[in-house]
């Protein structure tokens, strides 16, 4: 399968714990996005990378969230000191940016904070 891969698919954690998610984009794609989605809502932008550079981080994202894409390939999203409000689906998408954004999404990581 050469699509966007996310791991794990599901994560259950206790409040206050740290969690890390991984995204492997389509190999030739230079842009990688992280979105968050809650039930009944559209995906909400969190941050994105062009190659290894993080170009933007949403103002809605607290300092507990950090993302990396060290070699311009896979990316990780870490949430420190998780809160119940962090419970959501975390989606990763990638694209070969040519102007306009035809994003290819992974299946997401469903996070539940107890």
Partner 1 sequence: GESVGLHLPTLSVQEGDNSIINCAYSNSASDYFIWYKQESGKGPQFIIDIRSNMDKRQGQRVTVLLNKTVKHLSLQIAATQPGDSAVYFCAEFETSYDKVIFGPGTSLSVIP
> Contact between 93 and partner 1 (CB under 8 A)?
yes
Interface with partner 1 (CB under 8 A), residue from 48, 67, 79, 86: 48
Interface with partner 1 (CB under 8 A), residue from 17, 18, 55, 112: 55
* Least distance from partner 1 to the Cβ atom of residue 60, Å: 12
HSE-up (13 A, CA, CB side) for residue 64: 14
- Number of helices (H), then strands (E), belonging to the chain: the values are 0, 11
> Contact between 91 and partner 1 (CB under 8 A)?
yes
Interface with partner 1 (CB under 8 A), residue from 2, 28, 42, 70: 42
Instruction: Kindly list the distances between the CA atom of residue 28 and the CA atoms of 6, 16, 72, 76, in Å, as whole numbers in the listed order.
Output: 17, 37, 10, 18
Which residues, including other chains, have CB under 8 Å from residue 39's CB and lie 6 or more apart?
none
Footprint of partner 1 on this chain (CB under 8 A)? 4, 33, 35, 40-45, 48, 55-56, 91, 93, 99-108
């Amino acid at each position: 399968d050469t699509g966007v891969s996310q791991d794990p698919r599901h994560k259950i954690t206790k409040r206050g714990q740290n969690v890390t998610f991984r995204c492997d984009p389509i190999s030739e794609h230079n842009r990688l996005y992280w979105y968050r989605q809650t039930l009944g809502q559209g995906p909400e932008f969190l941050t994105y990378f062009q190659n290894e550079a993080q170009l933007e981080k949403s103002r809605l994202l607290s300092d507990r969230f950090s993302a990396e894409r060290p070699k311009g390939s896979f990316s990780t999203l870490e949430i420190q000191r998780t809160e119940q409000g962090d419970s959501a689906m975390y989606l990763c998408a990638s694209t070969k940016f040519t102007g306009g954004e035809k994003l290819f999404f992974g299946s997401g990581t469903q996070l539940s904070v107890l």
